Structure 1
Amino acid sequence: MKHFFLSILILILLSSCGGNDDPPPAPVGANLVFPLESSECTTGVSINDTQSQVTFEWLASANTDSYTLSAVNLETNMPQTISTAATSASLPIGKGTPYSWSVTSRNSSSDQIATSETWLFYNSGSQTTYAPFPAQLVSPLSGSTVQKSIANEIALSWSGADVDSDISGFEIFFSDQNPPTSSVGNTTSTITELVVSVESNTIYYWKVITTDLEGNTSDSGVFEFKIL
């Protein structure tokens, strides 16, 4: 009988110490609402000649108790961030300036995070026409290592957007020097991929210049990758 009660006590202790091994639910990425994708934001409250206060909005996401808003000045690549438990937040940003923005969802019980899509917009300024958004370099990703094709080629791909919807074309610069100064091709607004020749064990640099019908241009910035 003594051994029976001892066994029962051990089982109780084991069950009480076992706890719940299920991981906490991971947060879900938020859906962005405003400023709209590839739009001109005209709702900012003027602060001074160079800045206005813009309110960003998104939808609540599951398993989330806080959000971090990030707005990146695409001319300087400088980010601004703010954390909040709400589904909106305001930041002072430059007038007449292109921005990208996204929201990161967090749950205090989980180590995982989830990031929304990234949207582009121009914060309204005094100009009546806008330069295109800097092209978003899609592939190869910066810092990646890439396998070339049998023909010793890889494809560069990107995406472009413009508030005025008047992109006329793209010029692609590509070389093993940084920054790349060799123009390897021009494409129309509907073609966002270009195949280039590469060599093994070489680091390459590339960027895309976008031009619109008004002659305005934007620079994507330089990405680098290595060929196996």
Structure 2
Amino acid sequence: MKNLTLLMLLLFLFGCGGKDAPRAPESSILVFPLKDSECTTGVSLSGSTSEVEFQWQASDFTETYQIRVTNLVTNVSQNMSTSATSIKLPLEKGAPYSWFISSKNTNVTETATSEIWRFYNAGFQTTYAPFPAEIISPKSGASVLRSANNEVELNWSGADVDNDIISYEVYFSINNPPETLVFSPFANDTDVNVTVAADTVYYWSIKTLDSEGNTSDSGVYQFKSL
């Protein structure tokens, strides 16, 4: 009798163990508004606002999507959740925005995040300022090892709807905000080496200039040199 009971217990345990564990959601692929573009399909709501429809592809193992849309001038964000793969939001005309999608399900704590895309919501202007430079490295708040020459490489990327960036201005110092112009590279140059001291916090920012005289500011980033 004991052997029969043990056999039944083992069959029960192995049978329960065959169930698949919940799967984490996968990242969604963004569709529209297009990356580094001018969105001209918004429906006008007023003289200053239009409604834009955001679209993305469905991702596996996802129950809901959370969209985050940020005005790159005011840094104000809209956050909305939906089970659909599109949503309409009111946006300021002529303003630059970034957006991304987080995929979620209730069975796991993990979420998946899409790429971050930027675009201009069409307004009345005929020329647009460049998008704020996107900082690649060092990440803000990072601790960074110096090279043998006591240098750290600053790296960023730039984009412009009009494709007319002519140069950048790199500001770098131990002060916040940094006011020392240390480098002014051309449009194709998106990195520079700066001299640093050990155990010191540095601040840096990028100003992007285009051929129409428009400019944008990346905001201030910081890192600590080791």
TM-score range, shorter chain: over 0.9
Specify the alignment match of 1:36 in structure 2: 34
Residue of structure 1 in register with 2:105 after alignment: 107
1:149 aligns with 2:147: yes
**Equivalent in the alignment of 1:23:** 21
Distance in 1 (CA, whole Å) between partners of 2:12 and 2:166 is 73
The answer to whether structure 1 residue 161 and structure 2 residue 159 are counterparts is yes
- Give the aligned residue type for 2:3: F
The answer to whether the aligner puts 1:66 opposite 2:64 as a matched pair is yes
TM-score (norm 1): 0.94
Deviation at 1:5, TM superposition (A): 3.0
Instruction: Give the secondary-structure state (helix, strand or coil) at the position aligned to 1:188.
Output: coil
1:213 aligns with 2:211: yes
Following superposition, which runs of at least 4 residues in structure 1 exceed 6 angstroms of deviation? Answer: none
Mapped to 2, the partners of 1:65 and 1:101 lie a distance apart of: 20
> Any residues of structure 2 matched to 1:52-201 within 5 Å, and which?
52-201=50-199
The AA in structure 2 aligned to 1:173 is Y
Question: In structure 2, what is the Cα distance between the partners aligned to 1:136 and 1:24?
Answer: 36
Determine helix, strand or coil for the equivalent of 1:187: coil
Q: Distance in 2 between matches of 1:147 and 1:35?
A: 38
CA-to-aligned-CA distance 1:130-187 (integer Å, 9 cap, x gap)? 1000000110000111111010001000000001000010000001110000010101
Q: State the distance in 1 between where 2:21 and 2:176 align.
A: 45
Deviation at 1:77, TM superposition (A): 1.4
Counterpart in the other structure of 2:3 = 4
Shift of 1:25: 1.5
Gaps of 5+ in 1: none
Q: Secondary structure in 1 aligned to 2:185?
A: strand
Partner of residue 44, structure 2: 46
2:202 paired residue number: 204
CA distance in 2, matches of 1:22, 1:154: 47
Distance 1:186 1:87 in 2: 42
1 CA distance for matches of 2:38 and 2:95?
A: 10
Residue identity in the other structure for 1:118: I
How many aligned positions are there? 226
Q: CA deviation at 1:19?
A: 4.0
Moved more, 41-50 or 194-203: 41-50
Amino acid at match of 2:115: E
- SS of match in other structure, 1:8: helix
AA aligned to 1:91 is L
Give me the identity figure in percent: 50
Structure 2: runs of 5+ lacking an equivalent: none
Cα gap change, 1:203 to 1:56, in 2 (>3 Å): same
Q: Residues of 1 paired with 2:117 and 2:192: CA distance?
A: 24
Provide the C-alpha distance between the structure 2 equivalents of 1:113 and 1:33, rounded to a whole number of angstroms.
20
Cα offset, 1:22, TM superposition: 4.5
Give the distance between the partners of 2:86 and 2:29, measured in 1 at CA.
12
Find the residue that maps to 2:25 and give its secondary structure: coil
